Structure 1
Amino acid sequence: MTNVEVRPAGPADFEAVAELRWRWVAEQDGLPGDGRAAFVAEFAAWARENAATHRCLVLARAGRVIGMAFLAVTPRVPTPTAFERASGDVQSVYVVPEARDGGLGGLLIDATLRLAEELGLERVTVHSSSRAVPAYERQGFAVSPSLLQTRAKPAG
């Protein structure tokens, strides 16, 4: 893992992150070739505008961005003993296919959890693909019987 670093994304990295997001969705669902440039521009603008709530980390090898992870930070309702509270959700962890299975995803997850600790987050969740579950479990994630989810119903 020489020449590899995980670092906070800077404004100049967001086009590369957008390219990774496009590539990931294309891998999973297939995408038409047209629309890529518009998506990259819009996603990069979104990432810049939401940098305070969606902290992006990048994985770079020899200066080239080959992976990403987001930590979405959500304020929580205050309690009498803790007025400033927040939780986090790990989102969009991705490593390019040619760099997988060498522990790089684990580096991203570990760095994301260190960021969550630095931010004082109470809890960190993740919605993972079945392929990535073992990587999250190695980093201490576990199934919680008290964390439930449902799909929101469309308005109307």
Structure 2
Amino acid sequence: MTVIEIRPARPAELAAVARLRWRWVAEQDGLPAGGRDAFVRDFAAWAREHAETHRCLIAVRDGEVIGMAFLAVTARVPTPTAVSRAAGDVQSVYVVPEARDSGVGGRLIDATLALAAELGLERVTVHSSTRAIPAYERHGFARSPHLLQARLSEPGASPVRNNRSRTAPR
């Protein structure tokens, strides 16, 4: 039986995580312009620099990184009853296609939520693909009528402008 380990990524494994990120983008949008080696180097450096705010968990099978998930931790404004507050956002959950639908993604989600609980986070959000929504719901996520999103821009597009004026009409 093949054992799949879910655990925090080690610094030496960040290049493998970067290659997963490259593969994911290639699957969705085609091969990115630019060099993969440069991206892997830059991504690994970014992940090391942001290790406190972006915790990386990985799925490892037979010594190979086959999945990843990031928990982005954000400080929240203090309240009179809690000065130290934080929330989390699940980001970049990816499992290689040949390991999908085997529970690896769910295990990454569970490990990410366990890490969030360990860190004492108040809540965890996720911006999910349509395909993954049922998986997140099976692991405790629920749709929120209060969580809103404003798209400020699309890659390569002008920022969205609010056409409503705060002043009286002319």
Q: TM-score, normalised by structure 2?
A: 0.88
Please list the CA deviations of residues 11-67 of structure 1 after superposition, one character each: whole Å capped at 9, or x if unmatched: 001000000000000000001475101000000000000000000000000111000
What pairs up with 1:107-146 in 2 under 5 angstroms?
Answer: 107-146=107-146
**For residue 13 of structure 2, what is the aligned residue in structure 1?**
13
**For residue 36 of structure 1, what is the aligned residue in structure 2?**
36
Tell whether 2:150 aligns with 1:150: yes
Unaligned 5+ runs, structure 1: none
Question: How many Å separate the matches in 2 of 1:78 and 1:33?
Answer: 43
What pairs up with 1:90-105 in 2 under 5 angstroms?
Answer: 90-105=90-105
Question: How many Å separate the matches in 2 of 1:33 and 1:50?
Answer: 25
Question: How many Å separate the matches in 2 of 1:13 and 1:130?
Answer: 29
**For residue 80 of structure 1, what is the aligned residue in structure 2?**
80
Question: How many Å separate the matches in 2 of 1:34 and 1:89?
Answer: 28
Unaligned 5+ runs, structure 2: 154-158, 162-170
Q: TM-score, normalised by structure 1?
A: 0.96
Report the more deviating stretch, 146-155 or 107-116.
Answer: 146-155
Question: How many Å separate the matches in 2 of 1:6 and 1:33?
Answer: 31
Question: How many Å separate the matches in 2 of 1:134 and 1:59?
Answer: 20
Q: Number of residue pairs matched?
A: 156
**For residue 67 of structure 1, what is the aligned residue in structure 2?**
67
Report the more deviating stretch, 19-28 or 146-155.
Answer: 146-155
Question: How many Å separate the matches in 1 of 2:102 and 2:69?
Answer: 17
- Identical aligned pairs, as a percentage? 75
Q: Secondary structure at the match of 1:122?
A: coil
Please list the CA deviations of residues 70-117 of structure 1 after superposition, one character each: whole Å capped at 9, or x if unmatched: 000000000000000000000000000000001110000000000000
Counterpart amino acid of residue 94 in structure 1: Y
Counterpart amino acid of residue 96 in structure 2: V
